[in-house]
């Protein structure tokens, strides 16, 4: 009798473990698994209070319509008297010349798009990061950072060149120009660029009109308020590019950001004055945020 009871007890325990195992396996299968290994939609409170997919980086004609609060914030970057009607008119002109469609809204668990975000820090010298940078699906280069002569350290692939008028350079026919407008005259410069009647700035450039994209003022304000907690007057182009990469890619690798190990700010392609500072941008807060993102495995930081 005792043997039978013991045997029954063993069978009952085994059955319970089997049912429990099946239940656990079933629940694990229901947990979203990202191909890239680390979903942006994690339960990390620090990240989730900052990252908001409703703020898309790129503007369309429809999404150019921003709230009065956002428009006033954007206007204060430039100290201009230009009003909403003028802004709307210029934006309408822009989207008569460049594509008016939503881009990079194809996020899915099975997608693994890798972004290489390439800054201009002197830390890139002798880094030999070139092959790793070029391995990205998207390679986003900021402002004037060249590749010719620096291929071993910075690679030679560019899919997106992030610029504003003062940092503009010629862009090859297969590269997207991602345009950050900090003032009304920037938007007008973009119009005049393709009308070949540029009298607003000294420089005109070559770019493929069908590959031009314009950053949204709404996105710029979102980065400043939610990510930078209003540090600095407005975000740097580099930091906005970094957050843009988090929105359009599933894995982000960051190269060439910050000062060197001695605290000096230099570019890999030129020397800049020793007194250089991050100016109107909250440079230290931006870099601390970058390090926090690395700590939380939201990006990979390479010098």
- Active-site residues: which are they? 234, 281
What are phi and psi for residue 29, nearest 5 degrees? Answer: -65, -25
The pair of structure tokens assigned to 207 is 């770019």
Which residues, 6+ apart, have CB-to-CB distance to 303 below 8 Å?
A: 121, 123, 124, 127, 129, 255, 256
CA distance 299 to 290: 9
The residue with tokens 């230099």 is 266
DSSP designation for 227 = I
CA dihedral 144, 150, 153, 157 (to 10 degrees): 70
Among 48, 63, 61, smallest CA distance to 219 is for 63
């Amino acid at each position: 009798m005792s043997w039978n009871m013991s045997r029954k007890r063993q069978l009952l325990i085994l059955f319970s473990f089997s049912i429990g195992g099946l239940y656990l396996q079933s629940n694990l299968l229901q947990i979203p698994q990202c191909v890239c290994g680390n979903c942006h939609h994690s339960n990390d409170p620090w990240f989730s209070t900052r990252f908001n997919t409703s703020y898309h980086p790129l503007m369309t004609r429809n999404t150019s319509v921003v709230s009065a609060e956002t428009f006033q914030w954007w206007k204060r970057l430039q100290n201009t008297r230009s009003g909403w009607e003028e802004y709307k008119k210029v934006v309408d002109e822009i989207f008569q010349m460049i594509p008016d469609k939503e881009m990079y809204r194809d996020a899915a668990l099975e997608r693994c798009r890798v972004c290489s975000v390439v800054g201009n820090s002197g830390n890139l010298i002798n880094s030999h990061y070139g092959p790793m940078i070029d391995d990205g699906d998207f390679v986003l280069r900021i402002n004037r950072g060249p590749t010719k002569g620096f291929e071993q350290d910075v690679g030679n692939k560019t899919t997106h060149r992030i610029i504003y008028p003062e940092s503009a350079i010629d862009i090859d026919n297969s590269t997207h120009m991602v345009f950050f407008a900090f003032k009304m005259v920037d938007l007008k410069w973009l119009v005049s660029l393709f009308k070949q009647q540029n009298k607003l700035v000294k420089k005109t450039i070559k770019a493929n009109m069908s590959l031009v994209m314009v950053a949204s003022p709404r996105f710029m304000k979102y980065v400043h308020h939610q990510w930078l907690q209003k540090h600095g007057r407005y975000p740097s182009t580099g930091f906005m590019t970094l957050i843009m990469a988090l929105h359009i890619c599933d894995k982000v690798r960051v190269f060439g950001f910050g000062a060197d190990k001695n605290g000096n700010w230099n570019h890999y392609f030129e020397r800049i004055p020793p007194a250089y500072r991050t100016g109107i941008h909250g440079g230290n807060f931006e870099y601390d945020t970058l390090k926090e993102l690395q700590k939380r495995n939201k990006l990979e930081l390479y010098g």
